[in-house]
Amino acid sequence: MDEKHKIIAETKAYNCLDCGKCTAVCSVARHDSTFSPRMLVYDAIHDSGERAIKDDRLWECLTCAACETICTSGVQYGEFIRALRFQASQAGISGRCTHGGALQSMMHIMGADQLNQNRLEWVPKKVKTASTSDTLFFVGCAPYFDTFFEDLDARTLDAPKGAIALLNRLGITPAISPNERCCGHDMLNSGDIEEFTRLASQNIKAISATGAKRVVTSCPEGYHTLKVDYPRYMGDTGFEVVHLTELLAEAVSSEQLNFKKTSKKVAYHDPCRLGRISGIYDPPRQILEAIPGLDVREMAHHHSNALCCGTQSWVNCGTINKQMQMELLGEAQATGADILLTGCPKCQIHLKCALNDIDSSGEIKLKVQDFTGFVAGALSR
């Protein structure tokens, strides 16, 4: 059995019933009638050559897992796509890099053995952090995104700043590593397993140096990558991984957190990596419901049916993706909310990009804000 058909077998793609349900819920197919997850599987199965890894559709998929929630055959579509992308990567084929490939270059640079980063200047003086602790907060790429997308007022640092403040309120002084690297999610999702394992190895080493046995992260991609992909590719890491909202939901239920009253109206967006892929739906909502006076409104698509923001690993972002973002923003505005909250830095960046688009000027009157930063700002003094 050649490598392609091994991938098809291992991801259960041979079980596809050709029913088309996946296409009916696909985030891309909603706006591009030429795209179909089912047909990509069909073509890969019936292709006798290398056409599958040369197909542009391979890079259009957002690996958002919407298709997996409805597939009655258990096809592991995300793994199918990632495995084919690995084969494509081995053949020197990749997707179209956005932003001139600058972010991919940054990730490759961060995999270097000898790297001196200045990545802690953003830490507010009023919060408490440590060089060693039982708990480490994994910051992720937020400091780089905040600078790179300054023109969008991305404010991706609101999440780690808010997270540390919230952890402090729970009596936790987290370690923050000065040598932390990108988690490697985008490299793995793009099929570059070699670079992913290099980044993972550096991070495991840096986390181990702090003595942490628990890693807390607010980024959905970082959470899933550290919790699932690191053990899968690197073996036992020596630490457990917890999403911040899981800790906060427990604190809310035991009344360890107090919030000031507000009259704001918000809609909460389920990021694909936190919701469909990691199964964390209730904790963020339990936290918001604990804020007195906050009016939380559900969008038409939520939980496992939530719309994808239209982004993936900084590749193949175009008109179709912009349409997805505008649909999501329109759905949020239809709830009557003033603020759209999302816990994913990439969702925040791309939704703000859509808001700043000249064609959307005046159409959407809605703020996009980071979930963690919003919750930290609601803490009572």
pLDDT of residue 118: 86
C-alpha 174/C-alpha 305 separation (Å) is 34
Backbone angles phi, psi at 267, to 5 degrees: -115, 140
pLDDT value at position 359? Answer: 56
Task: Please give the pLDDT value at position 259.
Answer: 97
pLDDT of amino acid 357: 81
Q: In the numeric block, which tokens belong to residue 366?
A: 């809605």
Q: What are the C-alpha distances in Å from 111 to residues 5, 60, 136?
A: 32, 26, 20
The answer to whether residues 97 and 314 touch, using CB atoms and an 8 Å cutoff, is yes
Classify the C-alpha dihedral 102-104-108-110 as positive or negative: positive
pTM for this entry: 0.95
pLDDT 10s digits, 299-331: 999 999 999 999 989 999 999 999 999 999 999
Quick one: pLDDT at residue 365? 86
What distance in Å separates the CA atoms of residue 30 and residue 327, rounded to the nearest whole number?
Answer: 10
pLDDT at 147: 94
Per-residue model confidence (pLDDT) at position 303: 97
Cα separation of 4 and 53, whole Å? 9
pLDDT on residue 362: 67
Q: Tens of pLDDT along 100-156?
A: 999 999 999 999 988 888 889 999 999 999 999 999 999 999 999 999 999 999 999
pLDDT of residue 312: 87
- Residues of the chain under the 50 pLDDT cut: 1
Instruction: Look at residue 175 in the predicted model and tell me its pLDDT.
Output: 98
Give the domains, in start order, of the chain with CATH numbers. Answer: 3-90 (1.10.1060.10), 99-248 (3.40.50), 257-377 (3.40.50)
Q: Check residue 364 and give its pLDDT.
A: 86
Residue 342's pLDDT is what? 97
